[in-house]
């Protein structure tokens, strides 16, 4: 009899566990499927770092237009280069029940507390182009192959100076990195330095100015990049730095062969400084240095056409906006996000990432920007008119 009672008790317990398992599965299914869908008309937040730079206006408005066309309400904000303002903007999105928050951070670390509030409120967080650091409150990251940007810039310099063809130099080169509060800047510089450093070791490239403490054959990325950083990526800051370099090192007619610039706004500051301090340097002649850049800004299009800037790295923000749009749509539909092809560690977690390919743009393929619908033919013609 006791054995019968024990058997009945075991059967009942098993039935209860099955029931609990079924309930648990049902709730779990709701969390990843129907229950996690976002209705049309819901709010999506987009936080951009500044309105003062051309590309962030394009990025923000491109994504906003796509999401609004798909039926979502969009809050687009620009932080005026102020981390505190960006945090306040994101908190406002949370207060307005944003279901997804897309953040191109001004300061990847400072924005952490704000996205943590968004995450706690149930929103998905997507880091846009710049990784959000030192927090677990990041679901996805969308950007370009960051080191490849530096690779393209360095290869352009290597090609124009004929280094692979055995040119011995020594060639004078000055190097700049992006803003120290932007995590991407380190990756851009690493991609370039990995290729340029061997030429420093062989003595073919030299950095005579000692800018930021100077770079040499033994310099490492971690120890060097912030020393040559341009605060907030600002043209005026780059111009000031370059004027100091020219005054200290090139004031007696010394030749400047190349400048590694990670961004078109910095390139413009470099160009301004050269034109002011060394008017003997003439574009489209051997007296003018090889200058790189990034973002295919309108001023860069004009500068490349005039021979003031040799190259820019084009990161098609239309494609980046499309990639993030697809992320948001898949999240809204309760689907698994597709197209993830990498990950970046932000100091806390490995963030699943969607990485796009950048393209090197020179005078030879400048019109590709029109083909990509990045700039209109009319605008292109005005920018490239001699």
CATH (domain of 253): 3.40.50.2300
Residue 136: CB partners within 8 Å, gap ≥ 6? 348, 349
Question: What are the backbone dihedrals phi and psi of residue 89, each rounded to the nearest 5 degrees, phi first?
Answer: -60, -45
184 in a structural domain: yes
Q: Are residues 184 and 108 located together in one domain of the fold?
A: no
Long-range contacts of 80-87 (CB under 8 A, 24+ apart): 80/50, 80/51, 80/52, 81/49, 81/50, 81/52, 81/106, 81/232, 82/106, 83/107, 83/110, 83/111, 84/110, 86/47, 86/49, 86/110, 86/111, 86/114, 87/111, 87/113, 87/114
Say which residues have a Cβ less than 8 Å from residue 152's Cβ, sequence separation at least 6: 191, 311, 313, 358, 359, 360
Give the integer Cα–Cα distance in Å for 313 and 360.
5
Q: In this structure, are 376 and 237 located in the same domain?
A: yes
pLDDT in tens, 69-110: 999 999 999 999 999 999 999 999 999 999 999 999 999 999
Domain membership of residue 120 as a residue range: 43-138+317-356
At 11-46, the pLDDT tens digits run 344 443 333 333 332 222 223 333 478 998 999 999
Same domain, residue pair 341 and 365? no
Domain membership of residue 31 (yes or no) is no
- Both 260 and 366 in a single domain? yes
What is the C-alpha separation between 6 and 211, in angstroms, rounded?
83
Residue 171 has pLDDT above 80, yes or no: yes
* Tens digit of each residue's pLDDT (9 = 90 or more) over 262-300: 999 999 999 999 999 999 999 999 999 999 999 999 999
Q: Which pLDDT score, from 0 to 100, does residue 386 have? A: 65
Residues 94 and 157 in one domain: no
Q: Per the structure, how many domains does the chain have?
A: 2
Average pLDDT score, the chain = 91
Question: Are the C-beta atoms of residues 42 and 20 closer than 8 Å to each other?
Answer: no
- Claim to verify: residue 196 and residue 291 sit in the same structural domain: yes
Q: According to the model, what pLDDT value does residue 287 have?
A: 98
Residues 298 and 207 occupy one common structural domain: yes
Alpha carbon of 336 to those of 136, 149, 230, 330: distances in Å? 19, 29, 39, 7
Predicted TM-score of the model (pTM): 0.84
| Structural domain includes residue 15 | no
Q: Are residues 218 and 198 in the same domain?
A: yes
367 and 351 co-located in one domain: no
Is there a single domain that holds both residue 161 and residue 263?
yes
Least confident span in 15-19, 115-119, 184-188: 15-19
């Amino acid at each position: 009899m006791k054995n019968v009672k024990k058997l009945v008790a075991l059967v009942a317990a098993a039935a209860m566990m099955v029931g609990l398992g079924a309930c648990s599965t049902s709730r779990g299914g709701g969390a990843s499927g129907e229950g996690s869908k976002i209705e049309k008309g819901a709010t999506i937040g987009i936080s951009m770092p500044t309105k003062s730079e051309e590309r962030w206006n394009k990025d923000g408005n491109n994504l906003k237009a796509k999401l609004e066309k798909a039926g979502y309400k969009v809050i687009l904000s620009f932080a005026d280069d102020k981390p505190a303002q960006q945090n306040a903007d994101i908190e406002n999105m949370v207060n307005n029940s944003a279901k997804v928050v897309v953040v191109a951070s001004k300061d990847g670390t400072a924005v952490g507390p704000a996205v943590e509030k968004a995450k706690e409120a149930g929103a998905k967080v997507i880091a846009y182009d710049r990784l959000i650091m030192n927090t677990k409150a990041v679901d996805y990251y969308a950007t370009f192959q960051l080191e490849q940007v530096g690779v393209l810039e360095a290869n352009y310099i290597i090609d124009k100076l004929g280094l692979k063809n055995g040119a011995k130099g020594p060639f004078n080169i000055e190097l700049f990195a992006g803003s120290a509060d932007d995590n991407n800047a380190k990756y851009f510089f690493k991609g370039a330095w990995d290729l340029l450093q061997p030429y420093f070791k062989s003595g073919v490239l030299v950095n005579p100015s000692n800018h930021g403490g100077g770079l040499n054959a033994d310099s490492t990325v971690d120890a060097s990049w912030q020393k040559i950083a341009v605060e907030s990526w600002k043209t005026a800051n780059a111009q000031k730095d370059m004027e100091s370099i020219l005054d200290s090192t090139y004031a007696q007619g010394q030749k400047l062969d190349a400048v590694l610039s990670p961004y078109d706004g910095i390139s413009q500051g470099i160009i301004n400084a050269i034109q002011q301090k060394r008017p003997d340097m003439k574009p489209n002649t051997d007296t003018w240095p090889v200058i790189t850049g990034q973002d295919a800004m309108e001023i860069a299009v004009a500068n490349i056409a005039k021979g003031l800037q040799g190259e820019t790295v084009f990161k098609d923000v239309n494609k980046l906006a499309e990639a993030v749009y697809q992320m948001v749509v898949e999240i809204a539909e309760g689907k698994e996000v597709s197209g993830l092809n990498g990950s970046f560690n932000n100091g806390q977690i490995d963030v699943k990432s969607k990485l796009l390919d950048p393209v090197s743009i020179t005078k030879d393929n400048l019109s590709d920007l029109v083909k990509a619908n990045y700039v209109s033919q009319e605008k292109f013609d005005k920018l490239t008119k001699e």
